[in-house]
Amino acid sequence: MSVKCSDIINIMEDYANPNLAEEWDNVGLMLGDENKYIRKILVALDIDDKVIDEAIQKECNMIITHHPFIFKGLKSIKASDTTGRRIIKLIKNDICVFSAHTNLDIAINGTNDTFAKLLNLEKIANLFEKPNSDVGLGRVGEFSKVTSFGNLINKVKNILNLNHLVVSGNLDSPIKKVGICTGAGGEVDFILQALSKGCDAYITGDVKYHNSQVARDFGLCLIDATHYASEALIVPVICDYINSCSRKLNMDIECIPSNINGQTLSIV
């Protein structure tokens, strides 16, 4: 069955309802024609020149990203401007762009649920509640057995394929309950929320130095897993989801992860 861009939009919005997105966010179709027939999709965390080139080289006529390709209002589209140049190149190559951002962070089996599953957390709940919804931003979960902060650090390194992490806390501290907020959850209100949920450790990205001091003062172990690594884990998950839908619906479409702006992980 031939697949239109609108079909892919519907599939993605079933996964990550746009109504879940934060008010300040920009999600959905960023560029392109909803009626265009899609042959092949490239999934990446962000769009840059190399990702566009990758899509062209691999003959993908749609790109799905987590971070919005167009975030703030544009007053002009010029080849002399970085975003303008990319928009022009995408249009010239007839490539549609769709983004699912905070709605994918919040959604079931989104970025935070994926990270929680990779950590093998149990009794998973929301870090923040979203009004009139069963889901919210971030997750809180527990290990079946108490572990040490040092062991948790090594576990996160292995999951995210990182050699180094920025951390705060005693390596011997016992860890049972863990809070997660993929991407940028390093602000003080997020740290205090993890504390209010009884977390022994909190994992996020983009943690500022003085905010880490707040966590230290309250005895909360902290891991900055980087914005990129904590969210790039969703790239193969999106691909698996779309390819699974394609098989079920007999859709003539292929979805592949970017080798430039994503990473391959398997959830066991």
Q: What is the pLDDT of residues 117-147, one digit of tens each?
A: 999 999 999 999 988 889 999 999 999 999 9
φ, ψ for residue 136 (rounded to 5)?
A: -155, -175
| 268 has a pLDDT exceeding 90 | no
Domain count, the chain: 2
- Residues 217, 168 share a domain: yes
Note the pLDDT of residue 202. Answer: 98
More confident residue, 233 or 267: 233
- Residues 190, 169 share a domain: yes
Note the pLDDT of residue 265. Answer: 45
pTM score, two decimals? 0.94
- Residues 141, 43 share a domain: no
In a domain, 265, yes or no: no
Mean pLDDT of 234-258: 96
Note the pLDDT of residue 213. Answer: 96
How confident is residue 2, by pLDDT bands cut at 50, 70 and 90? Answer: confident
Residue 167 tokens read as: 């951390």
Residue 158 tokens read as: 């292995």
CA distance 104 to 20: 8
| 266 has a pLDDT exceeding 60 | no
- Residues 209, 113 share a domain: yes
Cα dihedral 166, 146, 154, 256 in deg (nearest 10): -100
- Residues 182, 135 share a domain: yes
Mean pLDDT of 35-51: 97
- Residues 212, 172 share a domain: yes
More confident residue, 1 or 250: 250
Domain holding 169: CATH number?
3.40.1390.30
- Residues 203, 156 share a domain: yes
Strands 40-44 and 254-257: parallel
Orientation angle between helical segments 49-57 and 82-92, nearest 10 degrees: 10
Mean pLDDT of 73-91: 94
Which domain does 22 fall in, by range?
5-101+232-256
What type of residue sits at position 136? Answer: G
| Sequential DSSP letters for 75-99 | S---TTSHHHHHHHHHHHTT-EEEE
| 149 has a pLDDT exceeding 80 | yes
CA distance 200 to 76: 48
CA–CA distance from 256 to each of 65, 87, 142, 143, 211 (Å)?
12, 21, 33, 33, 38
In a domain, 266, yes or no: no
In a domain, 264, yes or no: no
The answer to whether 137 and 161 have CB atoms below 8 angstroms apart is no
Residue 188 tokens read as: 């003080």
- Residues 123, 209 share a domain: yes
Residues in the chain: 268
Contacts (Cβ under 8 Å, ≥6 apart) of 40:
58, 59, 60, 61, 62, 253, 254, 255, 256
